[in-house]
Structure 1
């Protein structure tokens, strides 16, 4: 009798049957579509998560919308639920990787033009206290180039509705 393999939920890339939400030149779109061989720690219809290729902390993950969304400067008030879900997904990934001190975590976005990929991506760094001096500079709080998730949510909530 042949063994039957159980389906692999959540970690398989979400297949795109059309080009909607996919930018063919975007490295993160390629990653979430399993075109790069990058291990996906989480992947569902809305969000995907993978390790940063240049980790700035022992745990450095990127949480991205599975469908292409521009950088944080292009977001409006209607994106508040998305950003909140990104932070929650980051917390879940940390917990799955045995990070128990969620008070020593940095969640944030590089502010354009200081982001190398225009696909929205949340940096999840833990423990923040173990970041190197250069990493602390690169992911510095209250800087021109890095905005925390809380700061972005505050900014988005202060915008006028575009609907």
Structure 2
């Protein structure tokens, strides 16, 4: 989009990050490679915690992925401690939409694919807008109340309830 400047990302010292699935840098993960500028993908947002880029198979006119800069597993592996991260992912998604002149934030879809229906195991939030312009296949892939897709609000509610039943 014209007029959108990507923030200059911080330099990451890969030698100081882990290569395991729990955090840091996973050299086999495509999203870790994107965040670390190894793929040539344009980052629409980048800071110490999160990055955002366009989905390569857009399901709507605006389809972005917001990912943690450190490798975090899929949404099923999250705990209550991840609530601030998930909420911040949603906020960055909203900011990117607004920077791209999406003003109707009621016609958007924020969500995650539920394992095993994830093509990449690095946590990533799908930001789609306008949801009303999603095609038939996209409506299936990002369908509300399905076994394979959970909205950001549903994930936040699920994480909030973790640990409450002792």
| Structure 2 length-normalised TM | 0.89
Instruction: Provide closer, same or farther for how the CA distance between residues 14 and 140 of structure 1 changes in structure 2, counting only shifts above 3 A.
Output: farther
Of structures 1 and 2, the larger Rg is shown by 1
Cα distance in 2 for partners of 1:38, 1:9 equals: 11
1:12 paired with 2:9, answer yes
Conservation of the 8 A alpha-carbon contact between 2:6 and 2:43: no
Q: Report 1:102-141 matches (<5 A).
A: 102-141=105-144
* Secondary structure class of the residue paired with 2:93: helix
Conservation of the 8 A alpha-carbon contact between 2:6 and 2:45: no
Conservation of the 8 A alpha-carbon contact between 1:13 and 1:32: no
Q: Pick from 58, 61, 65: which aligns with 2:68?
A: 65
Alignment gaps of 5+ in structure 2 = 19-23
How large is the RMSD of aligned CA atoms in angstroms? 1.4
Conservation of the 8 A alpha-carbon contact between 2:9 and 2:48: no
| Runs (4+) off by over 4 Å | none
Alignment gaps of 5+ in structure 1 = 1-7
Displacement after TM superposition at 1:15 (Å): 1.6
Instruction: Provide closer, same or farther for how the CA distance between residues 56 and 151 of structure 1 changes in structure 2, counting only shifts above 3 A.
Output: same
Displacement after TM superposition at 1:16 (Å): 2.8
